[in-house]
Structure 1
């Protein structure tokens, strides 16, 4: 799945004013599909943003937004990776994921 599902919207935010609701999906910013939260923050940093939303009903909406570069959209996501976790089979010696010792808390493992 590409795109970020909105888990919540802050009141009096840009998203609130545009009518974005929980369950809507942010598909792209400036025609770039969103894969993770880092990319979302990077793309959102522009002062002119073209935001593509897929409403929970399936309707697609395109918003042209002019904002300050540090002004936030005001949405909450329930995950940081929008297109699924990628696993690697390389077994690199420097990999902190592959080299995790056993017996640690479960949230540290993929």
Structure 2
């Protein structure tokens, strides 16, 4: 797991007053090693924050006192400190496959990470979602999320995603809704595949099985 590096410190912020510098590597926050900016933000919301940082090869501890919920005043280089959960679907309509060559590498990254769904509105198919993910979403209140449905027929959805887990992963959509998580859905309509009667079946299926959806695009 890559440790987050400070890329900006707000002048006159609690972090600046405590001596945090650009380039400091955050080893732990209040004794914990956050996996992403979500956990990091929860940890630094406390009125007392202890940062264990690495600076020029040396480790030091920085204690910061501030108001509860007051911004710490630090910007880190990445939203995810561990690896992005990549997508293992192979949808023929995926926009990544349609990008021209020669662009920056980050544009070709296929993610299927619920954290990026929460942070940026990225859509996830839930084919790599787990029970541990569900527990985290619920316990940390990570809502809303954005889910690619495409079809409610298990065989058709599996065919469209080119992933056998596509046939079963909508069970996580039901579980998320049961726990009160707000969900926005989408259906990418492909002529001759999931349009016509198949689209009608999908819309009926959404109304019957997932009526709590906030929206469906």
- Taking structure 1 as the reference length, the TM-score comes to 0.75
Q: Which has the higher contact order (CA 8 A, sep 6+)?
A: 1
Q: Which has the larger radius of gyration?
A: 2
Offset at 1:108? 7.4
Q: Which moved more, 1:33-42 or 1:44-53?
A: 44-53
Offset at 1:63? 2.1
Offset at 1:19? 2.1
CA distance in 1, matches of 2:17, 2:65: 13
Conserved 8 A contact 2:29-2:51: yes
In structure 2, stretches of 5+ residues that fail to align are 100-106, 112-217
Q: How many residues align?
A: 102
CA distance in 1, matches of 2:92, 2:35: 25
CA distance in 2, matches of 1:6, 1:108: 24
In structure 1, the partner of 2:212 is none
- Taking structure 2 as the reference length, the TM-score comes to 0.41
CA distance in 2, matches of 1:45, 1:12: 17
Question: Going by fraction, where is strand more abundant, 1 or 2?
Answer: 1
In structure 1, stretches of 5+ residues that fail to align are 92-97
Tell me how large the CA RMSD over aligned residues is. 2.5
Question: Going by fraction, where is helix more abundant, 1 or 2?
Answer: 2
Q: How does 1:37-52 map to 2 (within 5 A)?
A: 37-52=37-52
Once superposed, which parts of structure 1, at least 4 consecutive aligned residues long, lie more than 6 Å away? none
Q: 2:94 aligns with which of 78, 88, 102?
A: 102
